[in-house]
Amino acid sequence: MVEPFIDVLCLGMWQTNCYVVGDRTTGHCAIIDPGQGGSEALPALVEEKGYHVEALLLTHGHLDHTWSAPDLARLWPTVPIRLHKADTWMWEDPTAGMGTPKETLMQLGLAWDISGLGDQLETYTDRSTMTLAGIAFTVMHTPGHTPGSSVFIADALGEEGVVFAGDLIFKGSIGRTDLPGGDDAQMQQSLRLMMQTQPDDRIIAPGHGEVTSMGQERRINPFLRQYASSPRLR
């Protein structure tokens, strides 16, 4: 029987939430969004806890969520990196999605090198299910922040289930759409989909900031109020 755990690391200058999700009985886990600084912090955590990493999951292709993925992939050469196919252009060149000059990112310590990692990169699609560490993660494609932005829904985590929401929804706010590949109309559709499909007690683990719940966001999030009366999908 799976005994689930979630470790949270707040990484880098963007304070990105990186989630290590797994099964205490086996030590197997998946890592979601290994941001800046994860190249050092995550191997240290894995060694300290005796974890076995099964996959690196990326909610979207922005550099603040993917920064350490190449280094970790080289450290763990049998571990796949999974990203929605619509965001693979940022895997090829992550600076393209940031709206920041490449030279500036290099000055901040970016040393992006994906040579030789082609076999480790895998793509996922909407409604696909990935079972990692005995935990089923269902993908919901939620474009808007980026073309491939997706959330991972783990119904088996706790009584409420958890949505690893990337930069779709934050506590009291939502992700921006003004960076390359962003689309406000798609973001509104994705937010409406979340409002229609996720129950109030569903925990939202965002890409930045504090954990919240779907019910709390229905009450307090000004960007979701317009969908408060949207019919729930069954």
Which CATH number goes with the domain that contains 154?
A: 3.60.15.10
Q: Which residues contact 12 (CB under 8 A, 6 or more apart)?
A: 35, 36, 37, 38, 64, 67
The answer to whether residue 135 is domain-embedded is yes
Instruction: Please check the confidence at residue 79 and state whether its pLDDT lies above 60.
Output: yes
The answer to whether residue 232 is domain-embedded is no
Instruction: Please check the confidence at residue 95 and state whether its pLDDT lies above 90.
Output: no
Model pLDDT, residue 234: 47
Q: Which residues contact 182 (CB under 8 A, 6 or more apart)?
A: 144, 145, 146, 176
Percent of the chain with pLDDT over 70: 97
Instruction: Please check the confidence at residue 6 and state whether its pLDDT lies above 80.
Output: yes
Q: Residue 91 and residue 113: Cα distance in Å, rounded?
A: 10
As a whole number, the mean pLDDT across the chain is 94
Region 23-37 average pLDDT: 97
The answer to whether residue 192 is domain-embedded is yes
Region 181-207 average pLDDT: 96
Q: Please check whether residue 69 is in contact with residue 111, taking contact to mean a CB–CB distance below 8 angstroms.
A: no
Structure tokens at 125: 């699609």
Region 28-55 average pLDDT: 97
The answer to whether residue 102 is domain-embedded is yes
Global pTM?
A: 0.95
Instruction: Please check the confidence at residue 98 and state whether its pLDDT lies above 90.
Output: no
Q: Please check whether residue 125 is in contact with residue 139, taking contact to mean a CB–CB distance below 8 angstroms.
A: yes
The answer to whether residue 234 is domain-embedded is no
Give the range of the structural domain holding residue 127, as residue numbers without chain letter.
4-227
Instruction: Please check the confidence at residue 224 and state whether its pLDDT lies above 70.
Output: yes
3-state SS class at 226: helix
* Number of domains the chain contains: 1
